[in-house]
Amino acid sequence: MTLNETIPKTHLAAVYSPDTGRTTIESVPTPQQGDLAPGQALVRVLFSGVCGSDINLNAAAKAANKKLVVGHEGTGLLVALNDPLCRLAPGARVGVKYIADTCNQCDFCLKGNDMLCPDMKAHGRHVPGTFQQYVIAYTSQLAPLPDAIDLVDAAPILCGGVTVYKALRDGGVEPGDWVSIPGAGGGCGLLAIQYAKHFGLNTIAVDTGADKEALARAQGADKWVDFESAGGDLIKAVKAATPDGFGPHASIICSPSGDGYPPAFASLRPGGTAVLVGLPEGYALPVDVCLSIREKKHVKACFVGNRQEAIDALRIAATGAVKCPVAVRPFADLQATYDEMLAGTLRGRVVIDLRA
């Protein structure tokens, strides 16, 4: 779409149905300029990354018995807005993140914890998401995209990228420290390796399979531990990967499986920090409280990032220091991509092309 074209009356959207448990591409009404409330914008979505949490959002829609358009890694063009104070103009390249809107007034918002705002709205949960060709977004949460970053490359940064960027910052690590990354062969894990290298950290990629090892090493992983090969010695293997044998200073746990969490925590050196990133639905982390106190180990959780952290993560990616390996697939392949994710056969990250 060029900016002198009119906004169409309808557009294509991937609608999840709780009845079938599947997503289908449907024609839906397109919001017009007059439909925008104060503080809202209309974005023409050209690409949208597929995130593991989209599976959880579909499951939530099924539980609530409602149809839903998910997606929260959208990149495209700002085509209309109803905000005289917005510094972005039609034609601007923007990103549409998980956080759609917050009150900007509560204690959490004022301290940069946008994701904790009690009035937070999320794309794909509370408001329609980015697996559609036009989406309403709130101007306060739009992410301006640096000129140097491609729209495809920017998409995974808007959720996976900013999340692991924040997780590393919250991990209490310094240049030269070691971090383990369980789930290193997935989309978030591969991004975590690159951001860690940008911060001057040494990385231990933890996953299984020769294909994932190749991906992790290609992103700069210093050490590789295959949890299948390690078997019952996984904790020992991760500790041995560090020069002094005490284990990593932090573990950025990107694994979607709960099985990866206990060994990641146990393999930390005294004083280390486990940062929870992956979403093993319904899993409760068993923690030995006495041992944790004696060894002064920490557990932190990371749930996306705030507006500034998204901007910072994008700026780093725009330098070329971080570039997620992605496969670009047509809009019609979204459900097939979900199927691969559920089967555990997806490698790397997928970005959906919505330009058709």
* CA gap 254, 180 in Å, rounded: 10
Residues 48 and 150 in one domain: yes
Q: Is the pLDDT confidence value at 308 over 80? A: yes
What residues contact residue 70 under an 8 Å CB cut-off, 6+ apart?
14, 16, 54, 57, 58, 61, 123, 124, 125, 129, 131
* CA gap 245, 161 in Å, rounded: 29
Beta bridge partners of 42: 80, 136
Instruction: Identify whether the C-beta of residue 312 lies closer than 8 Å to the C-beta of residue 288.
Output: no
Question: What tens digit of pLDDT does each residue of 269-298 get?
Answer: 999 999 999 988 889 989 889 999 999 999
Task: Dig out the tokens for 119 from the structure.
Answer: 């009035």
Q: Is the pLDDT confidence value at 137 over 50? A: yes
**pLDDT above 90 as % of the chain:** 88
Burial 283-299 (b: 16+ CB within 10 A, else e): eeeeeeeeeeeeeebbb
Question: Does the residue 3 lie in any domain?
Answer: no
Residues 66 and 129 in one domain: yes
Q: Map residue 9 onto helix, strand or coil.
A: coil
Residues 242 and 147 in one domain: no
Question: Does the residue 65 lie in any domain?
Answer: yes
* Amino acid, single-letter form, for residue 132: Q
Residue 218: phi and psi, rounded to 5, are -65, -25
Question: Does the residue 16 lie in any domain?
Answer: yes
Q: Residue 1's pLDDT is what?
A: 42
Confidence of residue 128 (pLDDT cuts 50, 70, 90): very high
**Stronger pLDDT, 180 or 232, i.e. the higher one:** 180
Question: Does the residue 287 lie in any domain?
Answer: yes
What residues contact residue 279 under an 8 Å CB cut-off, 6+ apart?
52, 53, 56, 256
At which of 263, 282, 301 does a domain end? Answer: 301
Residues 181 and 260 in one domain: yes
Q: What is the DSSP letter of 31?
A: P
Question: Does the residue 5 lie in any domain?
Answer: no
We report the CATH number of the domain holding residue 77 as 3.90.180.10
Residues 208 and 312 in one domain: no
Q: Residue 263's pLDDT is what?
A: 95
Residues 181 and 254 in one domain: yes
Task: Dig out the tokens for 27 from the structure.
Answer: 């024609």
The radius of gyration of the chain's CA atoms, rounded to the nearest angstrom, is 20
Q: Is the pLDDT confidence value at 2 over 60? A: no
Question: Does the residue 172 lie in any domain?
Answer: yes
What residues contact residue 120 under an 8 Å CB cut-off, 6+ apart?
99, 100, 101, 102, 114, 126
Residues 191 and 315 in one domain: no
Residues 223 and 288 in one domain: yes
Q: Residue 5's pLDDT is what?
A: 62
**Stronger pLDDT, 344 or 141, i.e. the higher one:** 141
Question: Does the residue 4 lie in any domain?
Answer: no
Question: What tens digit of pLDDT does each residue of 197-255 get?
Answer: 999 999 999 999 999 999 999 999 999 999 999 878 999 999 999 999 999 999 999 99
Full DSSP string of 42-53? EEEEEEEEE-TH
Q: Taking all residues of the chain, what is their mean pLDDT, rounded to a whole number?
A: 94
Residues 280 and 319 in one domain: no
Question: Does the residue 1 lie in any domain?
Answer: no
We report the CATH number of the domain holding residue 294 as 3.40.50.720
At which of 283, 301, 319 does a domain end? Answer: 301
Q: Residue 119's pLDDT is what?
A: 97
Task: Dig out the tokens for 48 from the structure.
Answer: 């949208």
Its domain, for residue 348, covers 10-159+305-353
Confidence of residue 345 (pLDDT cuts 50, 70, 90): confident
Residues 29 and 155 in one domain: yes
Confidence of residue 132 (pLDDT cuts 50, 70, 90): very high
Q: Residue 325's pLDDT is what?
A: 86
Residues 23 and 152 in one domain: yes
Q: How many domains does the chain have?
A: 2
Residues 88 and 116 in one domain: yes
Question: What tens digit of pLDDT does each residue of 11-22 get?
Answer: 999 999 999 999
